[in-house]
Amino acid sequence: MKKNIVITAGPTNERIDSVMKITNMSTGALGCVFAETFLENKEAEINKIFYISTKMSYKPKTVSDKIEYITIESTDDLISAVEKIFENNNIDIVIHSSAVGDYKGKYSVRAEDLAREIYDYCNSNPNFSYEELLNIFEHPKSAIDDSCKMSSYEPHLMTMLTLTPKVIGMIKERVPNAKLVGFKLLDSVPKEELLDVAMKLRAKNKANYIVANDLSKIGKGKHRAIIVGENGIICECETKKDIALSIQNLVF
């Protein structure tokens, strides 16, 4: 039976105002290699690959009517895209390689305005509590309108960040029968720590496999990674192509 596959790739971009955004260094190159590898496999019975990425992320060079591109910007966009796909299609495989941003902007404020707001509140309420003070930081009245571009000349502009939703955690809830491949990136850690974190991530999100990477071992044509399953390390890879081929053998 021909398979429907979702591949998420590249970063998410979280807005601060109408111009500025928070993003990360992901390019979508690994997700791109996955799509190309699957399409090159003549024996793989593929109905459709839903390729979700930001506008500037890498896209597969392979021309095929089996791939549908969905362009997103933020984590919320990514969630909306996958939920729509899950609702309208039977999905067999999810390759969630997107580097979803951990944080998004909650509000921006001038330091002087926030300090004044706190100072005035404390003067008016001498018996203020910790919770009251924290509430000002959570919902300051002095927050700047971020629906348009903020001034470029504010010397003490501060942006409060808040967590984005964990996309990987919702996937198996929506498509419990799909084979889910998740990814974890750490930097300059012992192999044992990388394995431990990957094992916990796999179990928590009910993923079938986790591709665990160490940033310090990526570059110059190399992309060293371990592929982790229920019982530990399944294999170790040296390049993006190795990773894609290894996962292909596991999910098809």
Which residues of the chain have a pLDDT value below 50? Answer: none
Q: Which fold has domain 3-102+166-251?
A: Rossmann fold (3.40.50)
Place of tokens 């198996």: 172
The pLDDT value recorded for residue 38 is: 97
**pTM of the predicted structure, to 2 decimals:** 0.93
Enumerate residues 6+ apart whose C-beta is below 8 A from 60: 32, 35, 36, 39, 51, 67
Contact in structure between 148 and 18 (CB atoms under 8 Å) = yes
Q: What is the pLDDT of residues 202-218, one digit of tens each?
A: 999 999 999 999 999 99
Q: Domain ranges for the chain, please list them.
A: 3-102+166-251, 104-163
The helices-and-strands tally (H runs, E runs) of the chain is: 7, 12
For the chain, how far is it from start to end, CA to CA, in angstroms?
A: 11
Closest CA to 232 of 187, 205, 200, 189: 200
DSSP state of 89: S
Q: What is the pLDDT of residues 213-234, one digit of tens each?
A: 999 999 989 999 999 999 999 9
**What is the strand order of the sheet 209-219 is part of?**
67-71, 46-53, 3-8, 93-96, 179-186, 209-219, 222-229, 232-237
